[in-house]
Amino acid sequence: MDFSGKKGLILGVANDHSIAWAIAKRIMEAGGRCAFTHLPDREDDERQRNRRRVSQLTDQYENAELLMPLDAQDDEQIRDVVGQTVAKFGKLDFVLHSIAFADREDLGRDTVFTSRSGFKLAMDVSVYTLIAVTAAVREHMAPDGAIATMTYFGGEKCVPGYNVMGICKAALDATVRYLAYDMGPLGVRVNALSAGPMRTLAGRAAGVDEMLQLYEHMAPLGRNVTHDEVGNTGAFLLHPASNGVTGEILHIDGGYHAMGSPGRLLNRLKG
């Protein structure tokens, strides 16, 4: 895929293990120009840890041209980030939303005990921010532009331990479909990438190690997916090569989502 001449905004890179970084890296290596955001640093953090984690990555690429702080719960900050990006690039060809959060206490307890405040926080950050970002970029997207977000199978089926975040992902999946309808007349596509478990910050919070073992035994491919594979697939959703695809939840999980039984895992249990 060639991204020469394509420009876009990447939201949600935390470190070099982030899926958003795997996708952005693939885009930039193919010639795309990217603007990035990072979590705001506290005023008393002289080392600016959040900014430094991302800048250590983006500084390696000449076509990583902007790095801005963003509190995604602040609509004014979202508009400001979009404004700076548009001022630099003009019309945007792609936007990647890779933002999610739930309080660790709520993630660590059974869903039935989710706090009201924790539920609101998780839904606001993990779901509403996609709506807010899409609204902010709506008038600034190029024809045949694309917006993509990150979801997970825990929004389609119950994945014990994923708890309140699974509810958020179910809402995010529905949001993708409704935004795809709203953005369709503008020629802009909205899709979601559903990756298998990976060792990211979010993955560790959700107990990824046990899930990696399960997927390795159950997935038709008999293995877990890599960051490079997810990066390629995410870039595809943001590239004109996927024109005609919208409102889609694209799984990249070795086929795990297609299984209706434990499959080959049963053989291991019997053995």
- Residues classed as catalytic: 152, 162
Looking at residue 44, its pLDDT comes to 74
Q: How far is CA 89 from CA 7, 10, 183, 188, 251, in A?
A: 6, 13, 21, 17, 31
Place of tokens 């990756």: 195
Q: Is residue 182 part of a domain?
A: yes
Lowest-pLDDT choice from 80-94, 136-150, 204-218, 234-248: 204-218
Looking at residue 43, its pLDDT comes to 76
Q: Is residue 98 part of a domain?
A: yes
pLDDT in tens, 159-191: 999 999 999 999 999 999 999 999 999 999 999
Extended strands (E) in the chain: 7-11, 33-38, 64-69, 92-97, 141-151, 189-195, 249-252
Give me the CATH number covering residue 107: 3.40.50.720
Q: Is residue 1 part of a domain?
A: no
pLDDT in tens, 19-66: 999 999 999 999 999 999 999 988 777 678 999 999 999 999 999 999
Distance CA 96, CA 149 (A): 6
Contacts 24+ apart (CB under 8 A), 265-270: 265/214, 265/217, 265/218, 268/217
Distance CA 188, CA 11 (A): 18
Total domains present in the chain: 1
pLDDT in tens, 192-207: 999 999 866 555 555 6
Residue span of the structural domain in which 254 resides: 7-270
Looking at residue 52, its pLDDT comes to 95
Q: Is residue 75 part of a domain?
A: yes
Distance CA 190, CA 82 (A): 17
Q: Is residue 21 part of a domain?
A: yes
Q: Is residue 195 part of a domain?
A: yes
For residues 94 and 27, the answer to whether their CB atoms sit within 8 Å is yes
> Mean of the per-residue pLDDT values for the chain?
93
End-to-end CA distance of the chain: 44
For residues 36 and 65, the answer to whether their CB atoms sit within 8 Å is no
Q: Is residue 2 part of a domain?
A: no
pTM for this structure?
A: 0.94
